[in-house]
Amino acid sequence: MPADSKPNPLYENLDTTFVNLWSLLRNLSQRGFIGRVHVESKDYSADIFLNGSSTPLVHEIDRAAGTDTTEEGALHRVVLRARETPGTISVHEGAHEAAPQQNSADAIAVAGDVRLEKSAQPAKPDHFETAELLPASDASPPVDQAPSVQQIDEEIYPTGSYQDWPAILSTTGELIRAVERAVTASGENFNVLFGAIRLELADDYSFLDPIARAFEYENGVVTLKQEVPVRIFVAAVGETLRRIVNRIAVGDRTRRVRERVALEMLTVARARADVLDRSGFQSQLDRIAGTKVM
């Protein structure tokens, strides 16, 4: 920032208890916002520089750990800190805010163009003040509410129970593909539904958000570019597929759709029984289909 410039926050000291940081960042991105988002909590602060790039630059200072880092692709760490630790969020608008300031002591080099890519999904209505600053409990309807991380049963999803990620991702791709076949057979557009549900769940499972590009699915193949606990990954994918099935299993075709989903998943269940059981996916199958799979 030039020496004669003064900070002019667009929003200042928003409470992280009531403002969901990931929703805020997504909203700003969709609006083409240029500037900086500052997060402050006890012994920690972070600046997220938004200038339209797909991978924003993040400057974190962890005073408790004695670290000071500037890197791309660290959004998930900031989002998790904002969820777990009470703090404040301030939004500073302007091109002069959209990149770290060069410091003679640190000589921070900003590599490349730091721009947050606009989401491929249609932008939300431009009612930022009223839509995004609601308490988390008001941000989405209570119907079809996803379980929070804290609600996930450790007995069903034991921490670190199964870490064979190549097998998990391969099986996940087959499972999604099975549901995709059932959805397509019902005359619905799976990709549209999949994208919409991912956005719905992004506040609870940030890696699902298309903006993050951490999780991708295409033609039965899943890729994951972010470290996620197995139990959280399984819960997120299971909830996504369950909601997709619920959207199309309505009216007089409810039973037919659910039975078709169960039949498609049965092939995966038989071929990948060990992976499904050890990862925690096995307990999700009946829940996804809404009927018995095995």
Which residues form the domain of 66?
9-132
User: How high is the pLDDT of residue 73?
Assistant: 62
Structural domain ending residue among the three candidates 71, 106, 132 = 132
In a shared domain, residues 111 and 85:
yes
Q: Which residues of the chain have pLDDT under 50?
A: 1-6, 102-161
Of 79, 87, 98, 88, residue with least CA distance to 25: 79
pLDDT in tens, 158-172: 444 456 888 899 999
Distance of CA 284 to the CA centre of its chain: 20
Please report, for residues 57, 108, 239, 254, the alpha-carbon distance to residue 4 in angstroms, rounded to integers and kept in the order given: 25, 21, 51, 65
User: How high is the pLDDT of residue 7?
Assistant: 56
User: How high is the pLDDT of residue 135?
Assistant: 33
User: How high is the pLDDT of residue 209?
Assistant: 86
- The token duo for 197 is 């549900």
Distance of CA 26 to the CA centre of its chain: 10
User: How high is the pLDDT of residue 11?
Assistant: 87
User: How high is the pLDDT of residue 110?
Assistant: 34
User: How high is the pLDDT of residue 3?
Assistant: 41
Structural domain ending residue among the three candidates 132, 157, 180 = 132
The total of structural domains in the chain comes to 2
Strands 221-224 and 215-218: antiparallel
With 0.75 as the threshold, say if the pTM is over it.
no
User: How high is the pLDDT of residue 269?
Assistant: 92
User: How high is the pLDDT of residue 199?
Assistant: 87
In a shared domain, residues 40 and 124:
yes
What is the DSSP annotation of 105-145? TT-----S----PPPSSPPPPS-HHHHSSS-GGGSS-STTP
